[in-house]
Amino acid sequence: MFGPKSHLTARDDHLYIDEVDCFALARNLGTPLYVTSERRLRENVLAYRSAFPDADLYFAMKANGNLTLLHIAVQEGMGADVFSSGEIFVARMAGFPREKILYNGNSKSEKDHEMALQAGVRMSVDSREELEDLSRTAQALDREAEILFRVNPDVSPKTHPKIATGLRSSKFGIPADQVAATYQRAEDLPGVLPVGLHCHIGSQILDTSPFAEAANKMMDIAEAVVKVGGKIKMIDLGGGLGIQYNPDAPAPSPADLAAAILPIFRDRCQEIGISPRLILEPGRSIVADTTVMLAGVNVIKRAHVNFAAVDAGFNALARPMIYDSYHHVVVANKADQPAKETYTVVGPICETGDVLAKDRRLPALERGDVLAFLDAGAYGFSMASQYNGQPRPAEVLVSGDRVEVTRRAEDASALLAGQSIPSRLMW
Ligand code: LLP
């Protein structure tokens, strides 16, 4: 019923995630609720592992920062792509070994560099200017950092403009023609040891050809670096593989990605005479389809369209609002019923743009029904906010028929966290 998502089934009209009834879960724990299948998460890592047996897989932590899911990624042998010193902290707490953490970022402060140097993680340097700053900070701390250079490969990934990162016009990376000279400069600088190249061209990419184009450009740059005497021990081709959100828009698998880039990587490495490790940084394709977000129906309003107002809005799942993203909707307690009506599913936030799903054909809805938004595991909870006085929802892990809360729901006191009224105003 749900295509390749074997962890989701409909039984007696209810949606199950593995052996757990989503409607019963929503009733017991309340909504909104993020629910993740442990089995699916492990399967997704395995799919990458078999497609790329020789690569290092770094989970892009921005996609999902749940400590338990990160810990499972550690158990599965993954490293971590982090984008802030906060994510370094969480990565270490989850158990990622320091040598498998790559700290990316285009705007790192001196404090960020200091923390990364002290944590002993590798860094991806985003500009010539950052290189000089990092070298100074490393010297002051008497440390040496292994570094990669984030390259701007100028590739169009054919995705939503807000998540295209490898275009010449994007803020990320060093222009391709500056990389070899920057690498050479780094070889002479104290406190930094250049070990490789890094790129990431964008996210939710549904065609493998931009990855092949980027791989080729990266190998051209590697060749130029080697020509000026640079040593390349690792090449990180980033993340970005899309997933099938919409039943009508199939996505390539990790095996398809491997078929597109591995021959280029292998042949070109041989040609140039280098044998670097290949690193990939998948986020979405590891975690998106592991998770559903459950939301309760509060109101069915018959107006110029049928509105189904649920208890989760863009505070809980921001993607539809920000990127016009499609998340498939299943009625968790009417999973086998035929579609009868067309609904626009909206949240409780006081903005017109708070629409989670537009013009969806669904079974007739009523107050108390539970909607499941599929593929919510990537950039779902991690982008949630407390906007409009909405505490963030709980996250649970499902393993077989076992349910474990991995992050408890916030209550209203979370809205006050860290705040105090200056005492002079209390008189
Ligand atoms: N590596 C780097 C340097 C990245 O910037 C990203 C994502 C990834 C890896 C992982 O990409 P993935 O495999 O997940 O496509 N919030 C947006 C997506 C933003 C992606 C940012 N960078 C969304 O909800 O669609």
Q: Provide the 8-state DSSP code for 172.
A: S
Candidates 243, 287, 239; CA nearest to 81 is 239
Pairing mode, strands 14-17 and 8-11: antiparallel
Please say whether the beta carbons of 33 and 396 come within 8 A.
yes
| Inter-residue contact 88 to 80 (CB < 8 Å) | no
pLDDT in tens, the chain (427 residues): 565 678 999 999 999 999 999 999 999 999 999 999 999 999 999 999 999 999 999 999 999 999 999 999 999 999 999 999 999 999 999 999 999 999 999 999 999 999 999 999 999 999 999 999 999 999 999 999 999 999 999 898 877 777 777 777 889 999 999 999 999 999 999 999 999 999 999 999 999 999 999 999 999 999 999 999 999 999 999 999 999 999 999 999 999 999 999 999 999 999 999 999 999 999 999 999 999 999 999 999 999 999 999 999 999 999 999 999 999 999 999 999 999 999 999 999 999 999 999 999 999 999 999 999 999 999 999 999 999 999 999 999 999 999 999 999 999 999 999 999 999 999 8
DSSP state of 246: S
CB of 59 within 8 A of CB of 378?
no
Which residue's CA is minimally distant from atom 23 of ligand 1? 379
Q: Which atom of ligand 1 is nearest to the CA of 124?
A: 3
Check residue 2 and give its pLDDT: 62
C-alpha 421 to ligand 1 mean position (Å)? 38
Strand partners, 202: 164
Separation between Cα atoms, residue 5 and residue 27, nearest integer Å: 24
**What residue's CA is closest to ligand 1, atom 24?**
379
Angle made by CA atoms 88, 92, 98, in degrees to the nearest 5? 85
Pairing mode, strands 291-302 and 370-373: antiparallel
C-alpha 202 – ligand 1 centre gap (Å): 7
- Spell out the residues 6+ positions from residue 418 whose beta carbon is closer than 8 angstroms to its own: none
Ligand 1, atom nearest to 205 Cα: 15
What pLDDT, on the 0 to 100 scale, is given for residue 157? Answer: 81
Q: Are strands 33-37 and 394-399 parallel, antiparallel or unpaired?
A: parallel
Q: Are 307 and 300 a contacting pair, CB within 8 Å? A: yes
Which pLDDT score is estimated for 4? Answer: 63
Q: What is the CA radius of gyration of the chain?
A: 23
Provide the CB-side half-sphere exposure for 248 (13 A, CA): 1
Measured distance CA(48)–CA(73) in Å, rounded: 12
Q: How far is the CA of 138 from the centre of ligand 1 (A)?
A: 28
User: CA angle, 292 as apex, 326 and 44 as ends, to 5°?
Assistant: 90
Specify the pLDDT at position 328. Answer: 98
Three-class DSSP category at 392: coil
Rounded CA-CA distance 87/235 in Å is 22
Closest ligand 1 atom to residue 150 Cα is 3
Give residue 59 CA to ligand 1 midpoint distance, Å. 10
Strand partners, 197: 149, 235
Q: What's the gap in Å between 328 CA and the centre of ligand 1?
A: 20
Q: Give the integer Cα–Cα distance in Å for 273 and 275.
A: 7
- In this structure, the residues whose C-beta lies within 6 A of any atom of ligand 1 are 60, 62-63, 81, 104, 163, 165, 200, 203-204, 238-241, 281-285, 319, 323, 378-379
CA 223 vs CA 121, 147, 175, 421: distances in Å: 26, 18, 15, 59
- Taking alpha carbons only, the member of 40, 117, 42 closest to residue 78 is 42
**Dihedral-angle region of residue 174 (phi above 0 means left; psi in -120 to 50 means alpha; beta otherwise):** beta
Ligand 1 atom nearest residue 283's Cα = 14
| Strand intervals (E) in 199-352 | 234-236, 277-280, 291-302, 306-310, 329-331, 341-346
Residue type (1 letter), 171: K
Atom 5 of ligand 1, nearest CA residue: 200
Identify which of 122, 199, 200, 382 to mutate to test ligand 1's pocket (most ligand atoms within 8 A of the CB). Answer: 200
Using DSSP's 3-state secondary structure scheme, residue 401 falls into: coil
Phi, psi of 367 (to 5 degrees): -55, 135
State which of 284, 287, 293, 319 you would mutate to test the pocket of ligand 1, scoring each by most atoms of that ligand within 8 A of its C-beta: 284
Active-site position among 22, 199, 269, 350:
350
* Distance between Cα 230 and ligand 1 center (Å): 29
**Predicted local confidence at residue 1, as pLDDT:** 52
pLDDT of 302? 97
Active site residue 350: yes
**Interval between CA 201 and ligand 1 midpoint (Å):** 9
